[in-house]
Amino acid sequence: MSSSPSSHFCKSGRARVGILARCVTSGKRPPDDPALIEVRWPRCALKRYELMRLALASTPSMTDEQIKHRIALLNARSGPSRGSHV
């Protein structure tokens, strides 16, 4: 397991999600509880970051043009079918 700064947050965040999810299941909190949503979103972002970091670490170096293209893809808000071609 990685010892990155996100590791500790993922472990404590996972525990907090579990506690809040049990409260939702038991009816003590609504399914759209803001506290549960607040703790789930950063975990999703950290998971995506970690997956991207691992994928990039296992690939050969990219040219500047390839890097610009990937940045444009990540910044596209309208999706691949409606976004501008890069």
Indicate whether 9 belongs to any domain.
yes
Indicate whether 60 belongs to any domain.
yes
- Spatial neighbors of 13 by CB under 8 A, at least 6 apart, are 39, 42, 43, 46
CB–CB of 9/42 below 8 Å? yes
Indicate whether 30 belongs to any domain.
yes
59-78 per-position pLDDT tens digit: 888 889 988 998 898 888 75
Indicate whether 80 belongs to any domain.
no
Indicate whether 21 belongs to any domain.
yes
Range of the domain at 53: 5-75
pLDDT at 2: 45
- Residue identified by tokens 């808000």 is 77
Structurally, how many domains does the chain consist of? 1
* Residue 81 DSSP code: T
Which of 4-20 are b and which e, b meaning 16 or more Cβ less than 10 Å from the residue's Cβ? eebeeebeebeebeeeb
Indicate whether 33 belongs to any domain.
yes
Predicted model pTM: 0.38
Tokens of 63: 């040219």
